[in-house]
């Protein structure tokens, strides 16, 4: 049995070892943190990433960068190309609709933009492969809410001659209307004042865009954690009755405005609900709201959800990019092809569109 002095000496040695280990770990954490901060700061000071597809827009928050070509944006061969107007199209368009074509403008978010696939694999483009008399203009952008889709169509779409306007959205696009930012980027918000739609938070603060771009180039863990917390909170808010009560009337007013604008231009508006992978597991309260109001407003509405639920589970899963991969959760090439096929068949059942195709 060790003596009292030996025991004290052993305790001191143990204490010193523990202190040494703790200090060493703390120094490693500090060095790692400083190194990460240095790397992140260096990244933040670099020029814009060569993989940028959007730029600041004081009216919309962000819009497409014109004349962009990124050959491997989402992987080998999965390219992004934009035209002079910043639309995701191979070609530029004349203002006048070609005599031999029926032009369709596609409004939407990342699911319509085709995040995760090449230009020619987006459902908006693939519709043209079902009928060569169709010409599509892809005006969608990742992260857009229903409000931004509407505002971009008013500003950039109504001046281009077209016959059909597809307004495609997911549940998340309705929820985004409740916020002045999306993925930390500022955006406009809309409300109803004396029966009219009013746009607030415009011009969108440029500083929000600048700071968000800087942070997106850095790899700060605290920023990542904050994003996860915000996303979880937004998901919680998404289906709450208070959010639907607050945002629902604005969405209805937007849908009605689109119908009126299209009627004035002799354009057929088609509202499309695009199901996401979560729609395979449960029905969102927003989805029920959409169905009820589209029916009440007597709008031309195409809901792809029933068609997706009718697809065998294994095949339906192949329509979505797997977790952990770039653009996870978005439509794969197979998913875009499926959506284009179902949507084309639905379009051919609309009398006004059938009549237009018969005339040209």
Each residue's pLDDT, cut to its tens digit, for the chain (360 residues) gives 556 566 566 666 667 666 767 767 677 666 555 544 444 444 434 444 446 899 999 999 999 999 999 999 999 999 999 999 999 999 999 999 999 999 999 999 999 999 999 999 999 999 999 999 999 999 999 999 999 999 999 999 999 999 999 999 999 999 999 999 887 789 999 999 999 999 999 999 998 677 766 666 555 555 455 545 555 545 555 556 678 889 999 999 999 999 999 999 999 999 999 999 999 988 889 999 999 999 999 999 999 999 999 999 999 999 999 999 999 999 999 999 999 999 999 999 999 999 988 776
Say yes or no: 75 and 95 in one domain.
yes
Say yes or no: 116 and 246 in one domain.
yes
Q: Supply the range of the domain harboring residue 199.
A: 54-359
Say yes or no: 94 and 18 in one domain.
no
Say yes or no: 308 and 351 in one domain.
yes
Say yes or no: 72 and 203 in one domain.
yes
Number of domains in the chain: 2
Q: How many alpha carbons fall within 13 Å on the CB side of residue 140?
A: 28
- Of 158, 159, 70, nearest to 119 by C-alpha is 70
Report CA torsion sign: 45, 46, 47, 52. negative
Q: Which residues contact 69 (CB under 8 A, 6 or more apart)?
A: 79, 80, 81, 82
Q: What pLDDT is stored for residue 356 in this prediction?
A: 87
Does the bond joining 203 to the residue before it have cis omega, within 30 degrees of 0?
yes
Say yes or no: 66 and 30 in one domain.
no
Say yes or no: 208 and 324 in one domain.
yes
Say yes or no: 243 and 270 in one domain.
yes
Say yes or no: 135 and 11 in one domain.
no
Say yes or no: 210 and 349 in one domain.
yes
Say yes or no: 36 and 108 in one domain.
no
Say yes or no: 176 and 252 in one domain.
yes
Q: What pLDDT is stored for residue 213 in this prediction?
A: 66
Q: What pLDDT is stored for residue 46 in this prediction?
A: 43
């Amino acid at each position: 049995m060790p003596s009292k002095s030996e025991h004290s000496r052993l305790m001191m040695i143990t204490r010193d070892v523990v202190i040494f280990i703790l200090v060493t770990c703390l120094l490693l954490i500090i060095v790692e943190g400083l190194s990460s901060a240095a790397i992140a700061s260096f990244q933040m000071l670099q020029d814009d990433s060569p993989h940028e597809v959007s730029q600041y827009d004081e009216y919309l928050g962000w819009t497409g960068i014109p004349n962009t070509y990124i050959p491997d944006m989402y992987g080998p061969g999965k390219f992004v190309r934009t035209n002079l107007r910043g639309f995701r199209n191979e070609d530029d368009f004349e203002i006048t609709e070609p005599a031999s074509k029926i032009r369709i403008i596609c409004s939407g978010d990342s699911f319509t933009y085709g995040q995760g696939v090449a230009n020619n694999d987006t459902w908006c483009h693939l519709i043209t492969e079902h009928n060569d008399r169709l010409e599509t203009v892809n005006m969608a952008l990742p992260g857009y809410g229903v409000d931004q889709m509407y505002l971009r169509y008013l500003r950039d779409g109504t001046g281009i001659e077209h016959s059909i306007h597809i307004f495609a959205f997911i549940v998340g696009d309705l929820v985004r209307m409740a916020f002045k930012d999306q993925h930390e980027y500022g955006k406009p918000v809309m409300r109803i004042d004396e029966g009219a739609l009013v746009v607030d938070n415009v011009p969108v603060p440029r500083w929000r865009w600048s700071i968000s771009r800087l942070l997106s180039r850095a790899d700060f863990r605290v920023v990542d954690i904050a994003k996860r917390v915000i996303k979880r909170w937004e998901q919680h808010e998404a289906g709450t009755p208070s959010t639907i009560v607050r945002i629902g009337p604005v969405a209805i007013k937007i849908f009605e405005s689109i119908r009126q604008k299209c009627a004035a231009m002799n354009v057929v508006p088609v509202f499309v609900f695009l199901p996401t992978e979560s729609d395979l597991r449960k029905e969102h309260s927003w989805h029920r709201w959409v169905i009820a109001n589209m029916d009440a407003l007597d709008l031309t509405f195409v809901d792809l959800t029933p068609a997706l639920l009718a697809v065998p589970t294994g095949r339906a899963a192949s329509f979505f990019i797997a977790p952990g991969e770039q653009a996870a959760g978005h439509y794969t090439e197979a998913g875009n092809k499926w959506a284009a096929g179902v949507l084309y068949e639905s379009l051919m059942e609309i009398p006004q569109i059938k009549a237009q195709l018969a005339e040209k």
